[in-house]
Structure 1
Amino acid sequence: MTTVAAAVADLLAAAGARRCYTVPGESFLSLIDEVDRHPDLQLVSVRHESGAAFMADADARLTGVPAVAMASRGPGSSNLAIGVHTAHQDSTPMVVLLGQVDSHLRGREAFQEVDLTAFYGPITKWAVTAERAQDVPELVARGWRIATSGRPGPVAIAIPSDFVDAEVTGPAAVEVPQAAAVDPAVVDELARRLRAARRPVIIAGEGARPARDRLVAVAERFGVGVCTSFRRQDAFPVDHPNFLGHLALATPEATVDAVAGADLLLVVGTRLDEVTTQRYRLPAPSTEVVPIGRYGTGGIDADPAGLLAALARQDGRTDAVDWAPVHAAVDAWSTPPAVETGGGVHPAAVISALHRQLPPDGIVTNDAGNFAAFLHRYWRFPATTTQLAPVNGAMGYAVPAAVAAATAAPERTAVAVVGDGGVLMTGQEIETAVRLGAPVVVLVLQNGMYGTIAMHQARDLGRTSGVDIGAVDLARWAEGLGAAAYGVTEAGRLDEALHRAITGRRPAVVAVRTDPDVISPTATLTGLLERVPV
């Protein structure tokens, strides 16, 4: 016999989990203890539950293995929800364990009680509350299978607190889903269609990232142009002549036209979300669409890596498809401008400096906000760099994600690129990095406002409201959390500060005062305000 807590810890370790992220709570005390004492698991105690869920998302996306996020009852589970929604829209496998009120108190609005099955149902693949203690190990095992099969995503299992110490016979076995063998006839037919297509295009996303080399081989063999889906810029090398651009919130017309003009579109390892499709304008009605993977309906239900490997062994096309004009247009569009500002550092200069200083195998986590437009447009992802970014636009993602990346892959350099709005939401996780010795670098573009909202207000209303952020001394703040800190107010100091932060191999913050008027790569705030009559 063993306890539920011990059985769950053993089960998670046997399945391959290595880290559990949490703010400790009284509704699952023994589970915290068992995870902490388990030789194959690391308990990561964080400063806010949103950080725990963001860390679990980044960990799973980086390693390919679900991480675990744990929270307690109503308040803790509510805080955790933003990162679970992120995992849901990101198609990230995650196991969420939630402490719940005692089983005999459920349904009476007990202290901190929330119906967690109903709450988490819309933002997970599966949500369940254990009705009996002996069911808990099997529910966790089932949750792992659901999280990692089909389109990956988060699952949530709520465990009443009186079940955690109950005795059970032992852990359930986890059957890790295996990728189905690729049907040779399906590969032959898809290769034939690629050879016959006039303008074949691939949109590559999360599921294509582990098979980037095979994706390149398929693109070259069949003359396919490749776009990356929203915030999945690392899925295909930008310097490859078949690269057609990143389908983001701002996308060059050459990229949109290339996708719209495709007669055959393979959607590899991604869903056709609102941003990737440019508000559902793409693909064109005349385009034949073939989803590959389990991210959409129809198409080919196969592991993208296996299918791409099989395609790369097929006979290619004999005629050439000329993507040079599109690639050249995208390349020119993404070249950083040589500009100066009068009120702070130009955001494009920050991205250029990061490009010069970050090692080729670095990990870039980016937050949500208008500053990210400069990263998406001007960062040219080397073939070995990883990007971790939330497709649901959740502010506060970058810092916790980078902490998780630096914990899971300490040999690589993890850099969080974030605005002052995002860093003031979850930047307290720098303390987690300091405590763990995770050498994360936090690069803050500090313009003193919620830039995205200011841009929309200026463009639509001709004025701004509620967007100001005070002139926080982020360098002193970071030092108070135990990190090295560098304040930058001039572009000429960017390289030195970033070099010192990256080579220092300890948690560090580089706070750059950027020009608040440079609100996007194509607009100034004053220019937008002047366009709308008040």
Structure 2
Amino acid sequence: MSAAARPGGHLLVEALIAQGVDTVFGVPGESFLAALDGFHEHGDAIRFIACRHEGGAAFMAEAQGKLTGRPGVCFVTRGPGASNAAIGVHTAFQDSTPLLLLIGQVARDQRDREAFQELDYRQVFGPGTLGMAKWVAEVEDADRLPEYIARAFHVAMQGRPGPVVLALPEDVLSGPASAPVLPRVKPAEAWPAPGALRDLRALLVRAQRPLVIAGGSGWTAESALALQRFAENWKLPVGCAFRFQDTFDNRHPNYAGDVGIGINPRLAQRVRDADLLIAVGPRLGEMTTGGYALIEAPRPRQQLVHLHPGAEELGRVYAADLLLQCSLAAAGKALEALTAPPQVPWEAWTASARADYEANRVPHAVEPLDMAQVVLAIERLAPEDSLFTNGAGNYSGWLHRYLRYRGLHEHGRTQLAPTAGAMGYGLPAAVAAALLYPQRTAINLAGDGDFLMTGQELATAVAHGANRGAGRLVSIVVDNGTYGTIRMHQERHYPGRVSGSDLFNPDFAALARSYGWRAARVERTAEFEPAFAEALSEGPPMLLHLRLDTEVSTSRATLAQIRDAALKARG
């Protein structure tokens, strides 16, 4: 039955509300004024968070997708707005995060004339194995808006989650529409075939040195808890894929560490020595597999079982011994059903893996500011349901190595970090977390280069009421005056020949205060804990500016040691 006629932009907003969306991130544009009016019309049910840059808005929506398991929504204008938002779409694709990017488009009667800011978004975001989106479409009829929104939610969540892009011509949004909205979409759960589960059990029974690598997008609290019980029943060591460390509780005696950049050398050797790898959820991309060398492509030395929600991903890189298509909402529950034998021969192997993880968390003293002690203080003082965010850079290695992430079965996601390695992600992600979950504390660790890519979103946090709930928003900027990762690689490959990686930085504390944040400068280890305790107290969000020597690296060597080793190797 047809509904009352209203502008297409209003129908679009109603369709989003029907899908359970209560927050949309974006930067306003004249190409979707009718939709903005729809947000005003339905302001009691949905809010539009006006951000300061489309890249920041897209990162916020990507974080929303990670946190909720349903598509985060970003709305931007045509041309420049869409181009700026592309970084969030690419991040969502590589991170397997459900995301919906809505783009205002030129009117239909102006198409294909290179009208003002016109782009062909099917070409820009072209779907495919190495594209940026799972599906790209343009809506030509206002009455089909609910159909396109429902399909977009299905595509974004089904199989391997990912981003969808919809272009919305200006006249479609402003013209009349009378279609009813469609019901809330729920993705189907794929379960592995019973025969495949029997084969997996047989492989486990024959194994001597098994290792689970967990990660990926689409886990539920119930499935993650079931994965933990599977590991307990079979006494299996569990590592987490790159930047999916909250898939499995890091405090659990079966947890062996993160399999990613800066991997514990002993864990790396354990991956090589394993006779059975069970990858539950991750794509097994370059970062988790050590450049496809730790787990060799296309045929690993270890026996490999790969569980993944996307049929197109299974077998794409690795010729595994057993492939199981399974939604991660069901994966843990399917594995838990495998009956374990009374005894297994790898209990000492699992205990040794845990001991290696604990030994890797013992810090080595660094003066005057010890980042390991900084992270340990954060873990000690932060509320147990805190969310931790970061972007890209060497500084993130301290967080990944020394922080014990709680499993998502307790509080939902506790780690928001881009497996795509996108700089500038952490601050917008923390702002989104603070606005979506005001009762939880969001803590961002950023590098100096990383922070200034999206630092203007400090204004978004204040404008939209961060810190009005019980939770606190904290941003910690590690300022070493360089693009640290690039500098590290320069010293390794071109020692002593620094070019393009030095930074000129502002006074980050003064910058934060100009946005209405509290701020403090920290230069010594002893200064951090009281400053962080203040950040967790009542008041506006707080930024801590940490000054670090340029030569300090997150690896086990300083930049000077990396340079000296490279020069020695060259003779």
Aligned with 1:329 (options 336, 356, 369): 356
Structure 2 letter corresponding to 1:97: L
- State the match for 1:381 in structure 2: 405
1:238-253, aligned counterparts within 5 Å? Answer: 238-253=250-265
Aligned with 1:399 (options 398, 410, 427): 427
- Provide closer, same or farther for how the CA distance between residues 334 and 311 of structure 1 changes in structure 2, counting only shifts above 3 A: same
- State the match for 2:377 in structure 1: 353
Structure 2 letter corresponding to 1:339: V
Aligned with 1:32 (options 20, 31, 36): 36
2:144–2:179 CA contact under 8 A, matched in 1 = no
- State the match for 1:8 in structure 2: 12
Aligned with 1:468 (options 489, 502, 508): 502
Moved more, 447-456 or 279-288: 279-288
**2:289 aligned with 1:277, yes or no?**
yes
**Shift of the alpha carbon at 1:510?**
0.9
| Identical aligned residues as a percent | 40
**Shift of the alpha carbon at 1:133?**
3.5
TM-score by length of 1: 0.94
Structure 2: which 5+ runs fail to align? 316-322, 468-472
- Provide closer, same or farther for how the CA distance between residues 144 and 457 of structure 1 changes in structure 2, counting only shifts above 3 A: same
**2:297 aligned with 1:287, yes or no?**
no
**2:165 aligned with 1:156, yes or no?**
yes
1:369-518, aligned counterparts within 5 Å? Answer: 369-383=393-407, 384=410, 386-439=414-467, 440-462=473-495, 463-504=497-538, 506-518=540-552
**2:276 aligned with 1:264, yes or no?**
yes
- State the match for 1:19 in structure 2: 23
**Shift of the alpha carbon at 1:74?**
0.5
Structure 2 letter corresponding to 1:108: R
1:206-217, aligned counterparts within 5 Å? Answer: 206-207=216-217, 208=219, 210=221, 211-217=223-229
1:136–1:159 CA contact under 8 A, matched in 2 = no
Structure 1: which 5+ runs fail to align? none
Aligned with 2:60 (options 55, 64, 84): 55
* C-alpha distance in structure 1 between counterparts of 2:510 and 2:256, whole Å: 43
**Shift of the alpha carbon at 1:209?**
6.3
Secondary structure, counterpart of 2:174 in structure 1: coil
- Provide closer, same or farther for how the CA distance between residues 516 and 433 of structure 1 changes in structure 2, counting only shifts above 3 A: same
* C-alpha distance in structure 1 between counterparts of 2:45 and 2:186, whole Å: 18
2:477–2:545 CA contact under 8 A, matched in 1 = yes
Moved more, 5-14 or 474-483: 5-14
- State the match for 1:93 in structure 2: 98
Secondary structure, counterpart of 1:292 in structure 2: strand
* C-alpha distance in structure 2 between counterparts of 1:380 and 1:105, whole Å: 54
* C-alpha distance in structure 2 between counterparts of 1:466 and 1:83, whole Å: 25
- State the match for 2:145 in structure 1: 136
Deviations 1:57-96 (A, max 9, x none): 1111112121210111110000000011001111000111
1:199–1:224 CA contact under 8 A, matched in 2 = no
**Shift of the alpha carbon at 1:288?**
3.1
- State the match for 1:197 in structure 2: 207
- Provide closer, same or farther for how the CA distance between residues 531 and 193 of structure 1 changes in structure 2, counting only shifts above 3 A: closer
Secondary structure, counterpart of 1:53 in structure 2: helix
* C-alpha distance in structure 1 between counterparts of 2:164 and 2:564, whole Å: 48
* C-alpha distance in structure 2 between counterparts of 1:119 and 1:432, whole Å: 28
**Shift of the alpha carbon at 1:479?**
0.6
1:515-534, aligned counterparts within 5 Å? Answer: 515-533=549-567
* C-alpha distance in structure 1 between counterparts of 2:331 and 2:371, whole Å: 40
- State the match for 1:42 in structure 2: 47
Number of equivalences: 531
Deviations 1:319-346 (A, max 9, x none): 23221222212221232223324xxx23
Moved more, 406-415 or 284-293: 284-293
**Shift of the alpha carbon at 1:129?**
1.8
Secondary structure, counterpart of 2:246 in structure 1: helix
1:347–1:445 CA contact under 8 A, matched in 2 = no
* C-alpha distance in structure 1 between counterparts of 2:483 and 2:39, whole Å: 39
- Provide closer, same or farther for how the CA distance between residues 130 and 201 of structure 1 changes in structure 2, counting only shifts above 3 A: same
**Shift of the alpha carbon at 1:488?**
1.0
1:347–1:515 CA contact under 8 A, matched in 2 = no
- State the match for 1:177 in structure 2: 187
Secondary structure, counterpart of 1:376 in structure 2: helix
Instruction: Give me the CA root mean square deviation.
Output: 2.0
Structure 1 letter corresponding to 2:524: E
2:192–2:324 CA contact under 8 A, matched in 1 = no
Structure 1 letter corresponding to 2:538: G
* C-alpha distance in structure 2 between counterparts of 1:316 and 1:160, whole Å: 57
Deviations 1:425-476 (A, max 9, x none): 1111111111112131101111111111111112211221222222411111
Structure 1 letter corresponding to 2:290: Q
- Provide closer, same or farther for how the CA distance between residues 518 and 192 of structure 1 changes in structure 2, counting only shifts above 3 A: same
**Shift of the alpha carbon at 1:116?**
1.3
Aligned with 1:118 (options 111, 117, 123): 123
2:386–2:414 CA contact under 8 A, matched in 1 = yes
Structure 2 letter corresponding to 1:415: I
1:52–1:69 CA contact under 8 A, matched in 2 = yes
Structure 2 letter corresponding to 1:512: L
* C-alpha distance in structure 1 between counterparts of 2:208 and 2:558, whole Å: 41
Moved more, 427-436 or 169-178: 169-178
Secondary structure, counterpart of 1:402 in structure 2: helix
Deviations 1:75-128 (A, max 9, x none): 000000001100111100011100111111111111111111110122000111
1:214–1:305 CA contact under 8 A, matched in 2 = no
1:128–1:158 CA contact under 8 A, matched in 2 = yes
**2:255 aligned with 1:222, yes or no?**
no
**Shift of the alpha carbon at 1:8?**
1.4
* C-alpha distance in structure 2 between counterparts of 1:257 and 1:35, whole Å: 54
